[in-house]
Structure 1
Amino acid sequence: MKEIYFNHDGNIDDLVSYLLLLQAPKIKLLGVGAIDADGYIDPSVEACRKLTDRFNLRNDHLEIAKSNSRAVNQFPHEWRMATYSFNYLPMLNEKGTIQTKQAKLPAHLDLAEKIKNADKKITLIMTGPLTDLARALDYDPSIEEKIAKLYWMGGSLNRHGNVAQVNADGTQEWNSFWDPYAVKRVFASNIPIQMVGLESTEELPLSDKLRQHWASLRKYPAMDLVGQAYSLIVSVPSASLFLWDVLTTMSALYPEIVETRTAKAKVITDGLSAGSFDETPSGREVTLVTKANKKLFYQKMDELLKSAKLK
């Protein structure tokens, strides 16, 4: 049985990823941490607590850890507001109370303690910045040996970025731009890393066809929740969104849904290219996802969402 710790930054894709992890068979969730990046931290933690109350059918013992890590470069306010909307969805608030508790330790210490006390090497899924892991490694370097693999949504090796700010040249991805120094710290470790970059999910756009698919299956509670969640995101063709975080999570559960290649990459920490990557022979080795099996991805995602029952 794979034991997993999930660290995320609270936007729609992250919260849908958490819903999928709550339904996945043959895993155990050791912990969940949320960081104040692509979604505001308080509604993010609260939404995870509510998701746990309603969908934790494996009855994993879970408390949600709140990060106190801070940004080098913060996400746009307009993007982050979606977390508040998700947290207000009626299905999550029907009971009017929250049973799942917030963890006593901040997320980086919760992560370190969960890894340290695990019976086996853990799988780490991170769909936001790497800051909590970097801080956990600084706090207790011994945990490095107990991480079997890191699955990270972040970066881009083809210089295709999604940051449009005056202090950036547009070649960087937001999760790495949020804290480039944390990326450098984690890449200095020996933890095996599988990386889903911006270039990894071109087969998986958030499209009207996909929205209609979820709508047609709304008799399933988790499908209904996912359809409502993604209805909060409105994009234009020039700024298309893709299921980056969900692919990262699903590839950790079902490795067969992706194709990969080995790459050597080095992060830039300063200047207008901070958060960008150079693919260079002197870089550290990562496994880069290059392609997704679209049919199998949606098949597995549907299976998990259809299997969910409300508590």
Structure 2
Amino acid sequence: MPVFADVDTGVDDAMALVYLLASPDADLVGIASTAGNVGVQQVCVNNLGLLELCRAGSIPVSKGSEHPLSAPLRTAEDTHGPEGLGYARLPATDRQLTEHDAAQAWVSAARAHPGELIGLATGPLTNLALAMRVEPGLPRLLRRLVIMGGAFDYRGNTTPVSEWNISVDPESAAEVFGGWTAAWGTDAPEHLPIVLGLNLTEHIAMTPQLLGRLAEAAGSPTAPMSELDERGTRSAAVNPLIRVLEDAMRFYFEFHFDTDDGYLAHLHDPLAAAVALDPELVQYRQTTVDVELAGTLTRGMTVADWRGHWGLPPNALIGVRVDPAVFFDRFIDRVGPFAHSLGPT
């Protein structure tokens, strides 16, 4: 299945891309770099370096907007590290960005695979909103769209009510949801975008034990992680991909530990990648979603009209239930052997 990924690579975005590269049922046809977890230039560096690490073929990577549609850019180095991948270091590469920008990359990929392309957005929706300005019919060209973003009947992780990706660029999210309704109207409810919010993704908690299972599946000896370890301890894994993932995840573990979540990490974006390939991993509720843009305390809040007060057609399928064990089994079963295929260094 052709997949186009729009990412702000970060730790969990990187793991989402690895999942796609490790999946035999996915053909990653393009990557859009969006500003979010770190600035867009660093996101581009991370995406190109990750493809080099994974010995991927010639997958085009396009640079997106350097800032949200109308708000100043905020980044999250405290969560993902100064370069977005925690303590990890990616290999140098001579891979180059495309000459066209990320918005055009969205449109070109959709036109090249009409009715077949799976869109995956795990960062702010800036590039997708710009792409829909170029091609308002973009929603009708996609087979499906999976968005990691929002929080539905659930606390935010950026403000009390807003999730990070939506909070960084709420205007773009509002445009995407509105543009979807404009493109489809009341037609084809099976083409509604799948939206995975914090209410779902925070159930996907990576732990040192699960990371150990991944290393074992890759045939890569390593040292177990613990909150008692010295901060910044580097991975002992012999496998290059496992080493990068462990160094990235350690920073992510430490961040979550410091915010009283425990020595674990929420894998928001890998779940979205898995759902992009297999929507049946998650149960959904259909509704109409909009984004608060003006509220003094609620800007960036995703509002779901569960009872139909607005009288508008539905524009989203909201993920409401997932089995974390099923997801992690699938993640390890795919990424472990893929890492093993890269061999030790």
TM, length-normalised to structure 1: 0.86
In the alignment, which residue of structure 1 is the partner of 2:234? none
Q: What is the CA deviation profile of residues 5-44 of structure 1, one whole-angstrom value per residue up to 9, with x for unaligned ones?
A: 0001111000111111111112211210111111232232
When residues 310 and 157 of structure 1 are mapped into structure 2, their CA distance, relative to the original with a 3 A threshold, is: same
Contact (CA 8 Å) 1:10, 1:83: kept in 2 or not? no
- Structure 2 residue 251 is the aligned partner of structure 1 residue 232: yes
| Residue of 256, 265, 280 corresponding to 2:280 | 256
**SS across alignment from 2:105:** helix
Contact (CA 8 Å) 1:47, 1:87: kept in 2 or not? no
Cα distance in 2 for partners of 1:225, 1:117 equals 33
Give the 5 Å matches for 1:113-262. Answer: 113-118=108-113, 120-164=115-159, 170-188=160-178, 189=180, 190=184, 192-214=192-214, 216=216, 219=220, 221-233=240-252, 234=254, 235-236=256-257, 238-239=260-261, 241-262=265-286
Cα distance in 2 for partners of 1:221, 1:256 equals 32
Cα distance in 2 for partners of 1:110, 1:210 equals 35
- Structure 2 residue 315 is the aligned partner of structure 1 residue 285: yes
Q: CA deviation at 1:121?
A: 2.9
Cα distance in 2 for partners of 1:33, 1:150 equals 14
Contact (CA 8 Å) 2:148, 2:195: kept in 1 or not? yes
2:333 is matched by which residue type in structure 1? E
Moved more, 48-57 or 153-162: 48-57
The percent identity for this pair of structures is 19
Q: CA deviation at 1:53?
A: 2.2
Cα distance in 1 for partners of 2:99, 2:18 equals 22
When residues 266 and 102 of structure 1 are mapped into structure 2, their CA distance, relative to the original with a 3 A threshold, is: same
**SS across alignment from 2:287:** strand
Cα distance in 1 for partners of 2:303, 2:139 equals 24
Contact (CA 8 Å) 1:151, 1:248: kept in 2 or not? yes
Moved more, 16-25 or 249-258: 249-258
**SS across alignment from 1:302:** helix
Moved more, 129-138 or 75-84: 75-84
Moved more, 81-90 or 126-135: 81-90
Q: How many residues align?
A: 299
Contact (CA 8 Å) 1:260, 1:291: kept in 2 or not? yes
- Structure 2 residue 39 is the aligned partner of structure 1 residue 14: no
Give the 5 Å matches for 1:102-121. Answer: 102-118=97-113, 120-121=115-116
Cα distance in 2 for partners of 1:38, 1:69 equals 12
Unmatched tracts of structure 1, length 5 or more? 165-169
When residues 137 and 145 of structure 1 are mapped into structure 2, their CA distance, relative to the original with a 3 A threshold, is: same
Contact (CA 8 Å) 1:39, 1:80: kept in 2 or not? no
For the aligned residues, what is the CA RMSD? 2.4
Cα distance in 1 for partners of 2:154, 2:324 equals 24
Cα distance in 2 for partners of 1:278, 1:87 equals 32
In the alignment, which residue of structure 1 is the partner of 2:42? 43
Give the 5 Å matches for 1:257-272. Answer: 257-272=281-296
Contact (CA 8 Å) 1:33, 1:65: kept in 2 or not? yes
Cα distance in 1 for partners of 2:82, 2:13 equals 10
When residues 288 and 85 of structure 1 are mapped into structure 2, their CA distance, relative to the original with a 3 A threshold, is: closer
1:32 is matched by which residue type in structure 2? I
When residues 100 and 80 of structure 1 are mapped into structure 2, their CA distance, relative to the original with a 3 A threshold, is: farther
Q: CA deviation at 1:159?
A: 4.6
Cα distance in 2 for partners of 1:36, 1:85 equals 11
1:204 is matched by which residue type in structure 2? I
Give the 5 Å matches for 1:38-77. Answer: 38-57=37-56, 59=57, 61-71=58-68, 72=71, 74-77=73-76
Larger Rg: 2
